[in-house]
Amino acid sequence: MKGLFCRAGATDAEPKFVIQETTLPDVLTSYQVRVQVKACGLSPLDLKLLSDVGIQRDLIPVGREVAGVVLQVGPKVTFFQPEDEVVGILPLDSTCSGLCDVVDIDEHYLVQKPEKLSSVCVAAALRDGLSAYTALHTHARIAAGHTLLVMDGGSSFSLMCIQLACYHGVKVLTTSHSPQQHTFLEQLRPSVARVIPVYNNSSDLLPVVLEETGGLGVDIVIDSGVRLQEEEEDEEKKFLPHKHDIISVLGVGGHWVTSHQDLQLDPPDCRLLHLKSASVSFLNPEVWTASSAQQGRYLHILKDIVEKMSTGVLRPQPEEAVPLYKATVVMETVQRHLKKKAVIQL
């Protein structure tokens, strides 16, 4: 059978995506489950992260968020049986591409998929749901009555954060990057307290947040990246908030959850955080599959995400499924961040 793999080039070269023949072992290990894949989500590969954790291969499997049907189980598997519908994320060190017809995966990375939830929908949204859950619950410890500012509310990850926070009774503020996005966010139900347009002038952020919070600032900020310099020439980054803006809108004891892995805080930034007794957390949802230290909590999170998607608490933006023969081209687009994500229907 065929799978999609990444051939990492030299340091400056763009990675190449290739279709390769691959095979599975004849016999499953004790806790493995053999799954026939129905849909697979594609997200950008973090080659630096793979290198940092010691995963170095000539061919790196592509496609890790999978939904499918159990074909066979190992002798010690207790959670699943053949014909169960399942969903999960392949671990970082998996040798299987999620775009193969059939994959082998440990039962501790899978949960049952509710019958009325489509495979395409859950494969497209599972990673964003996991990131949102990790940001809000694991890092920020949200509770009813908190005030939350979610940057770039129109992105799929931010939309999950907004919906999850509203479900828990949190007052939500968010930013929009275009007039169309602004209209979409204002029409969300449950509704957000305020949509702040930043496509005209991002300096409006602080006064609007202070107005909405009675001058106190927000309890939690979740970003989708930040600007480290005041002037940003990169078109993609010009709507990102400056790090000082984020620290300024935090209230006393506030919590900043950032996706910016190269964040640099200068002494004045640290001083302001200290004065507010505020804290910073780095969001890296890969830790759940990179370590088995909190496997039970991880499975609980996955189960809760798919249940909330099934009941309509989480309503991800629909993602159009792409046929398998377009996978290579689509993945190149995703890797260059021209498209945030894609889902392949097998």
- Structural domains of the chain, ranges and CATH numbers in brackets: 2-125+286-345 (3.90.180.10), 144-282 (3.40.50.720)
Q: What is the CA radius of gyration of the chain?
A: 21
What's the rounded Cα separation, in Å, for the pair 269 and 260?
Answer: 16
pLDDT band at 21 (very low <50, low <70, confident <90, very high): confident
CA 147 centroid distance within chain:
22
What's the rounded Cα separation, in Å, for the pair 21 and 234?
Answer: 39
User: Residue 269 has what pLDDT?
Assistant: 93
Does the pLDDT at position 241 exceed 60? Answer: yes
| pTM of the predicted protein model | 0.90
Mean pLDDT across the stretch 253-271?
92
Output b/e per residue, 160-181; b: 16+ Cβ within 10 A.
Answer: bbbbbbbeeebbbbbbbbeeeb
pLDDT band at 92 (very low <50, low <70, confident <90, very high): confident
- Strands 171-176 and 2-7 come out as unpaired
Side-by-side strand order, sheet with 279-282: 194-197, 171-176, 147-150, 218-222, 250-258, 279-282
Output b/e per residue, 110-137; b: 16+ Cβ within 10 A.
Answer: bbbbeeebbbbbbbbbbbbbbbbbbbbe
Mean pLDDT across the stretch 127-140?
94
User: Residue 10 has what pLDDT?
Assistant: 54
